[in-house]
Amino acid sequence: MEPRKIKLVQFAYWLIRLRWLGVLGIVLVTFFSSRILDISVEETSLYVISAGFLLLNVFHFILLRRIVARNTEYLLRRVKKLINFQISSDLFVLTLMLHFSGGIENPFIIYYIFHMIMASIILSPKESFLQVTFALILIGLLTISEYSGIIPHYPLEGFVTHNLYTTEIYLIGTGIIFITTSYLVVYITNSIAVQSRKHEEAYIQANRELEKKDNIKNEYVLRITHDIKGHLAAIQSCLGVANKKIKDFPAGDCPEFVERAYKRTNILVRFIKDLLYITKMKLHDQFEKSGFSIRESVKRIVEDLKSYAEQKSIEIKINIDDSVDQICGFQVSIEELISNLLTNAIHYSERNGKVLFNVGPLDNKVLFEVIDEGIGIPVDEQDLIFDEFYRASNIREKDLDGTGLGLSISKKIVENHGGEIWVESQVGSGTKFSFTIPGCLSLQNKT
Amino acid sequence: MDEKKILIIDDDVDITRSFQAALKDHYDVDTANDTTSGMAKLKSWKPDLLILDVMMETTLEGHRFAHNLRKEVEFADMPVLVITGMSDAIGVNIREAFTDSEELQNLYFLDKPVDPEELLTRVKKII
């Protein structure tokens, strides 16, 4: 059952429990007033009304249980109707009892207010105003009927000595105070109830959001565990073979499997390093940014990649526009980003290919382009390659080395700098990665 | 005596190579790293046992493969050793997935990571 339904049903049961106490209370007060305080009370009538009230409550109880047991889609509406009916019948019983115990002279008239508060808490503003109007009509009818002698008045002799029920000024004064108090109580309680309902809804919504996030996190952890386990399974399997061969001398296949296990361990270590890096970036969105020379950085990165490019006879062409020199950002991250993209470009190029690296101004940003003539990325996967763990289908088969995190790290770095990254590619003819980093000026304006 | 033939299908080369090494002293072993070449080898080479990774690249590719395999008359009764253990990562219970299809006959399961010795013992029991 939804929380709202549960709450309403609980409230209805609570009203019923309260009414058992009410019946007991009426009997005790009647007995005490009549026998001990010696006030003239219509004892028999009040006991009969109490019995009727008890039966009514039994009826409500059974009805509520049946509604809850059926649990149809109309449950909410039916329980609300029942509560409305309960409160109306309470008001009627209270009026009847007041009639036999002094009418408007009886201070128990205040008990109407309790019902109004309860109605305002659980019912809609319209329903609660209707209930209060109903209560006021009942009291009004009772008072006028007793005043004009249509029905008899049963005075509380020994408690109220004067015939207040015929004193006009008392009736008018009490009437005005009672009417205003009633409507004010309903208005105030209703406002508070509506507000608290809103808070509660916001709280439930926030809770739902949290649950969703928690699920995403769990899936993330599962995904990571899966990747780590895959590498470990391969390492264990390879070492298992090597281990057995060493025992069963001669150790013919050992080097191959030790090497496989070693390479796989390297991938796993890199995977975990990437994972730590990306988690760190997620935790600390803000880096301390500073100005640095992009020329110097690129020189260093290309130097580092030189031997890898030479292995595959790939030429790297650098073209940095004269207007660009200083870049504002987190130097280590930006260098990692450029290095990532250049390494990919070399990695997925055929032998004797060309890799182009352009840096130039674009509005008040700096545009970077890494262009290769490699295997390319299928069009329908171009949106996915920046997702964590995603690896394009045409590279999955070819090499096991990728962690599926490189591009998502790159994207995160660009986003942390307030830039954009995108890809244009065609399978078989090459790929162009572009990203922008806002220029120094706009960054300074931001901070 | 003729050596019995085993085909291993897994997209992870390190796994297929090491499984092959663990079994090759006792069996004639061949490997395939994707389902297409796996199916081709099955048909031309007719192995006595298929070792199949059910969760290639986190899809249930292996499961689908086994499903289609059972539909073909010549492979309907071939023993298949299913390598599982990645199922927890995507919340799919592989064994249940197989049980549902009522194809449990001649189907065996082994959880990754697999120790080569354990693999050999298991294979010896099956064929």
pLDDT at A446: 40
Burial of A445 per CB tally in 10 Å (0-12, 13-18, 19+): exposed
Collect all residues with Cβ–Cβ distance below 8 Å to A66 and sequence separation of at least 6: none
pLDDT tens digits, residue range A85-117?
999 999 999 999 999 988 888 888 888 888 889
**Cα separation of A91 and A182, whole Å?**
13
pLDDT at residue number A345? 92
Contact status of B33 with chain A (Cβ, < 8 Å): yes
Q: Which of A156-165, A182-191, B70-79 reaches the highest mean pLDDT?
A: A182-191
Please name the member of A222, A234, A396 whose beta carbon is closest to the beta carbon of B15: A234
Q: Does A379 touch chain B (CB under 8 A)?
A: no
Q: Is B85 in Cβ contact with A230 (below 8 Å)?
A: no
The whole-model pTM stands at: 0.56
**What was the pLDDT predicted at B124?**
92
Number of neighbouring beta carbons within 10 Å of residue B125? 8
Q: Does B103 touch chain A (CB under 8 A)?
A: no
Residue B68, chain A, CB below 8 Å: the answer is no
Count Cβ–Cβ pairs < 8 Å, chain A vs chain B.
76
- Neighboring chain B residues of A230 at a CB cutoff of 8 Å: 12, 86, 112
Mutate to test the interface with B, among A219, A222, A237 (most CBs of B within 10 A): A237
Partner B contacted by A222 (CB < 8 A): yes
B111 interfacial to chain A (CB closer than 8 Å): no
Residue of chain A with shortest Cα separation from B113: A233
Tell me the range of A47-51, A157-161, A272-276 where mean pLDDT is highest: A47-51
State the pLDDT at residue B101. Answer: 53
Q: How far is B91 from chain A (nearest CA, A)?
A: 9
Q: What is the pLDDT of residue B56?
A: 65
Q: Is B13 on the interface with A (CB under 8 A)?
A: yes
Q: Where are the alpha helices (DSSP H) in B1-127?
A: 13-23, 35-45, 61-71, 87-90, 94-100, 116-126
| Cβ-Cβ contacts under 8 Å, A236 against chain B | 113, 115
User: What's the CATH fold of domain B5-114?
Assistant: Rossmann fold (3.40.50)
What 3-state DSSP class applies to A248? coil
SS3 string of B35-71? HHHHHHHHHHHCCCEEEEECCHHHCCHHHHHHHHHHH
DSSP type of residue A110:
G
Q: Does A260 touch chain B (CB under 8 A)?
A: yes
- Asked whether residue A36 carries a pLDDT value surpassing 70, the answer given is yes
Closest Cβ–Cβ partner in A236, A396, A397 for B113: A236
Q: Which tokens hold the place of B90?
A: 């995507």
Residue A253 has pLDDT above 70, yes or no: no
**What would the DSSP string read from start to end of A326-367?**
EEEE-HHHHHHHHHHHHHHHHHTSPTT-EEEEEEEEETTEEE
CB pair distance less than 8 Å for A229 and B115: no
pLDDT at A88: 92
Give the residue from chain A lying closest to B83, CA to CA. A233
pLDDT at A421 over 90: yes
| Mean per-residue pLDDT, A279-289 | 68
B34 touches chain A (CB under 8 A): yes
Mean pLDDT of A140-165: 84
Contacts of residue A42, Cβ cutoff 8 Å, sequence gap at least 6: A100, A101, A154
In this complex, the residue of A232, A244, A397 whose CB is nearest that of residue B117 is A244
Flag if A222 and B90 touch (Cβ within 8 Å).
yes
Mean pLDDT to the nearest integer, B67-79: 82
pLDDT of residue B90: 47
Coil vs helix vs strand at A268: helix
Q: Which of B12, B34, B116 sits opposite A240 (nearest CB)?
A: B116
The partner residue sitting opposite A233, judged by closest CB among B13, B58, B113, is B113
Tokens of A381: 């996967």
Instruction: Give the DSSP per-residue string, A95-113.
Output: HHHHHTTTGGG-GGGGHHH
pLDDT of residue A1: 64
Interchain CB distance below 8 Å, B22 and A256 = no
Hey, which residues does B84 pair with through a beta bridge? B111
What mean pLDDT comes out for the span B90-107? 61
Query: Which of A234, A240, A260 is opposite residue B115, by nearest beta carbon?
Result: A240
**Residue A396 contacts B, CB cutoff 8 Å:** yes
pLDDT digits (tens, 9 = 90+) for A179-236: 999 999 999 998 998 898 899 899 999 999 999 888 888 878 877 887 888 888 889 8
Give residue A268's pLDDT band: very low, low, confident or very high (50, 70, 90). confident
The minimum CA-CA distance between B66 and chain A, rounded to whole Å, is 21
Helices (H) then strands (E): counts for chain B: 6, 5
Nearest CB to A264: which of B14, B22, B91?
B14
This model of the complex carries an ipTM of 0.77
